[in-house]
Structure 1
Amino acid sequence: MKLHCDVEVVSRHLPTLGMRNRGKGVRAVLSVCEQTPRSQLPGPRRACLLVSTLKDKHGTRYELKENIEQFFTKFVDEGKATIRLKEPPVDICLSKANSNHLKDFLSTVRLAHRGCNVNVQLSTLAPVKASEFEKFKTKMIITSKKDYPLSKSFPCSLEHLQTSYCSLVRVDMRMLCLKNLRKLDLSHNHIKKLPATIGDLIHLQDLNLNDNHLESFSIDLCQSTLQKSLRSLDLSKNRIRALPVQFCQLRELIILKVDDNELIQFPFKIGQLTNLRFLSAARNKLLFLPSEFKNLSLEYLDLFGNTFEQPKVLPVIKLQVPLTLLESSARAVLGNRIPYDSHNIPFHLCQDLDTAKTCVCGSFCLRSFIQGTANMNLHAVAHTVVLVDNMGGTEAPVTSYFCSLTCYVNSTDTLK
């Protein structure tokens, strides 16, 4: 019987010698092995614990029968446990194990400790093959085309995969089967489009697509499980002109990099990214910032090299008096937070509601509004601000919307 996990063997003599353990485990294969062939030993089989690592494939053997002082299993559901041996006086600390496999393994070890007959197939005392460790790798970094695997699959246990400078023109579908993946780095390739199935990687926290040929970030990805998992997204050095309004549903984002693209505007609901702390969008074609940009609370902001326009003196007036039935209904639905989807109203109306503008008073407006622009000091939303231009400026134009003439008159100071 075998268990794949991280292992740290800690000697209990270390504190008395004024020494400390490393505090970090290594990937290992634990085996409950038969010490003597069954044919040569009557009665219950005598088992031992063999701990093998990539550097020591022959492993270290530990007696089990009546040799375990204590089991620590408080965090077994998290894949962690400790086996305290009497001789030698060591603690075998296990982590990053499959919780179900760990429970079965500990049950077998208990039986061996009691000298009971172990009713599972025991391993033999033989060196562990290197392929055993390859199969359970959690990190793989490939930085050249010649090293890219064409004939064999990626280890299904991978949590971090980097395939850079491999001339990939599309995302390899084998990557999308790696259900434990937390970090995916596809930087410095030639990828033009992202498959919606990236959204099936339910644990993905860090996605790096720097230096590719992307022209968009799809709505399907914005509405996938990435909404709950994605923390860091790097879209720098691509060809993206706009991000969909649904992009703001990725509300767990902390880091967003979109430098060196062709962005002409941010999603106007960007203020919904309440967890965002690092935003870099240097060297794009931004003309102004959306009104909800003022709702952000950033630690770092870089908007250097954008072509910001000077605020317009006169506002754009699109007021409709009286309000149309569509406008009145939309304001009522959004103002009262009435849930809606394409199952109870037409899809195009859902899109209208999704793209409604927020007035400075907090109300909503669809097609009847006044639009004004004013400069804002970016230090109002970020602790650290990279200069917007070579002249030392930290201001940028922000667009504001007003649902009525009254709101506009009461807020004229914001446009000065």
Structure 2
Amino acid sequence: MKIVCNVFVSNRLLPSLAVSRSRKHVKSTLALCKHPKSEEYCIILFSGQNKNGTKYSLKGNVKQVLTKFAHEGKCTIQFNKPEHDLFIQSDVIQLKGFLHILKRALENKISQNELTYSSMAVTPVKQKDIAPTKLVIAKRSDYPIRGFPRTLEELHINDIQRCGIDRGIINLVNLRILDLSNNWIEFIPEDLSNLTNLKEFNISHNILARSTPKQWNWMGGNLSKSLLLLDVSYNELTYIPNQICKLHKLTTLNLNNNLIKTLPAGIGNLRNLKIFSASNNFLVVLPGSIKKLRLHSIDISNNNFEQCIPNGAGVFPKPLPVCTLKEYASRKVLGARLIYFSGNLPLTLVNYLDNAKYCVCGKACFEVYLRSSHNLLLGNIAESVSSSFGDMYVPIDCYFCSLKCSSLAYQNRSRHPIVR
């Protein structure tokens, strides 16, 4: 039996620091075989640099087989002689089949029908037969009729007037980068949230403005833990849905060149966000929760920001009523960043959670809150600022979950008045 995979060979006799610096997986062929005239099994590793192959005996020579991440297509095989560790990355189904045969070989329970060829007959898979990990489609005629290779990690489909997302894309469990820019896509299917490894999603230059509020439910699910970059620029969007606050791992968000007038109140809940762009829109105010961000850069040039609001002192907030049990529970759910969707909660509760307001302290609030507006110095939240107005102050619309948060905000405003 042989599988096509990516393998990194680590020599345990070498210093760990040198190994970690040069660690690079190489496209390889891994073969499990048995000589017809012998009862011993072995593994042969072929690669482009090692076309003759390296033979590893199995009998009494396997130190350990680590399969904790086999469901992700990863495993490690450690040998005694030579003292090599094989770090293997492969298609999940192929890898599990290989590990099953390997286990039976180690237990000497393998049948003759399962493994009949000799080690002398094993040859590496040709380069042209290796399933690709990257695919670029720039013409409609290049679109695969029989589906996409399951090994794809990077997929670019650009400028082919594509109107929707193929079901086959949803099944690419290894996909890390998905670029669907310059098409005619109107909405994203909710099942996209099932992808566990997707880190970059570019859906710019499409027509997502035609999406209904319910067609943004793809934001969340597994993407809450994996997605790092999202580009929805040039989509004629008039708003950004509240579901974007579920993408907790986002580091880069591009909203440029849309028709956006307001941003979700909880956008400051994206604690990992480092690069934020929302230029060429119709923003008049930023949400107060944005004060929680610590950005490398922010670009909000060419918007319609209102005049800065004068700071006032001596204004005291009114008392707040007691929260309902529903609101207390909802605050806890969002505070713990629990993943929720229509499959594990009633739809009414999902909508209730999605429409939460967010205090400047980062906590959620729903029906019990205070609200006021004041000014924010952008230099306090970003190292690099791009704006089309002289000073770097912008108005922010703040929600407060408690009297304490409101009082602190008023104290800060009185301590740092704006000098104009």
Interval of TM-score (by shorter of Structure 1 and Structure 2): 0.7 to 0.9
Aligned to 2:247: 250
Deviation at residue 361 of structure 1 after TM alignment: 12
Counterpart contact for 1:32–1:122, Cα < 8 Å: no
What SS is found at the alignment partner of 2:169?
Answer: helix
Deviation at residue 331 of structure 1 after TM alignment: 6.3
Distance 1:151 1:396 in 2: 51
Counterpart contact for 1:54–1:130, Cα < 8 Å: no
TM-score, normalization by structure 2:
0.73
Aligned to 1:318: none
Q: Letter of the aligned partner of 2:307 in structure 1?
A: Q
Cα deviation per residue 1:390-413 (whole Å; 9 max; x = unaligned)?
64x322111235799996899287
Q: 1:184 to 1:291 in 2, by over 3 A?
A: same
Larger Rg: 1
2:273 corresponds to 1:276: yes
Q: 1:13 to 1:69 in 2, by over 3 A?
A: farther
Q: Letter of the aligned partner of 1:275 in structure 2?
A: N
In structure 2, which of residues 173, 181, 190 is the aligned counterpart of residue 187 of structure 1?
181
Q: 1:368 to 1:258 in 2, by over 3 A?
A: closer
Correspondences of 1:54-69 after superposition (within 5 Å): 59-62=51-54
Identity percentage of aligned residues: 22
RMSD: 4.7
Correspondences of 1:85-96 after superposition (within 5 Å): 85=81, 91=84, 93-96=86-89
TM-score, normalization by structure 1:
0.73
Cα deviation per residue 1:227-254 (whole Å; 9 max; x = unaligned)?
2332221112221111122321222222
Distance 1:76 1:365 in 2: 45
Q: 1:290 to 1:121 in 2, by over 3 A?
A: same
Cα deviation per residue 1:4-43 (whole Å; 9 max; x = unaligned)?
322346789999xx999964232222223455xx5xx5xx
Cα deviation per residue 1:36-61 (whole Å; 9 max; x = unaligned)?
xx5xx5xx4565544344688xx424
Distance 1:62 1:410 in 2: 67
Distance 2:195 2:12 in 1: 41
What SS is found at the alignment partner of 2:283?
Answer: coil
Distance 2:331 2:22 in 1: 56
Distance 1:154 1:345 in 2: 35
Deviation at residue 145 of structure 1 after TM alignment: 0.9
Q: 1:122 to 1:25 in 2, by over 3 A?
A: farther
Aligned to 1:233: 230
Aligned to 1:174: 168
Counterpart contact for 2:369–2:399, Cα < 8 Å: no
2:43 corresponds to 1:71: no
In structure 2, which of residues 295, 298, 311 is the aligned counterpart of residue 298 of structure 1?
295
Cα deviation per residue 1:98-140 (whole Å; 9 max; x = unaligned)?
564453354466579xxx98673234615455488434x3x22
For structure 2, the 5+ residue unaligned runs are 70-74, 313-317, 334-339
In structure 2, which of residues 153, 161, 166 is the aligned counterpart of residue 159 of structure 1?
153
Cα deviation per residue 1:362-384 (whole Å; 9 max; x = unaligned)?
89574985x543331111112x2
Correspondences of 1:6-405 after superposition (within 5 Å): 6-8=6-8, 23-35=23-35, 38=36, 41=37, 44=38, 49-53=43-47, 59-62=51-54, 70-73=61-64, 75-78=66-69, 79-83=75-79, 85=81, 91=84, 93-97=86-90, 98=92, 100-101=96-97, 103-107=99-103, 110=106, 120-123=114-117, 125=121, 127-130=123-126, 133-135=129-131, 137=132, 139-146=133-140, 148-215=142-209, 216=211, 218-312=215-309, 328=321, 333-334=326-327, 347=348, 351=352, 354-356=355-357, 358=359, 366=367, 372-382=372-382, 384-389=383-388, 391=390, 393-401=391-399
Deviation at residue 298 of structure 1 after TM alignment: 1.9
Q: Letter of the aligned partner of 1:195 in structure 2?
A: P
Q: 1:414 to 1:70 in 2, by over 3 A?
A: same
Question: How many residue pairs are counted as aligned between the two chains?
Answer: 387
Distance 2:28 2:403 in 1: 70
Distance 2:381 2:68 in 1: 41
Aligned to 1:5: 5
Deviation at residue 346 of structure 1 after TM alignment: 9.7
Q: Letter of the aligned partner of 1:212 in structure 2?
A: N
Q: 1:296 to 1:60 in 2, by over 3 A?
A: same
Distance 1:51 1:352 in 2: 52
Q: 1:186 to 1:350 in 2, by over 3 A?
A: closer
Distance 2:196 2:84 in 1: 34
What SS is found at the alignment partner of 2:297?
Answer: strand
Cα deviation per residue 1:179-205 (whole Å; 9 max; x = unaligned)?
232322212222221111211223322
Q: 1:182 to 1:20 in 2, by over 3 A?
A: closer
Counterpart contact for 1:7–1:95, Cα < 8 Å: yes
Deviation at residue 347 of structure 1 after TM alignment: 3.5
For structure 1, the 5+ residue unaligned runs are 316-320
Q: 1:350 to 1:182 in 2, by over 3 A?
A: closer
Distance 1:385 1:259 in 2: 17
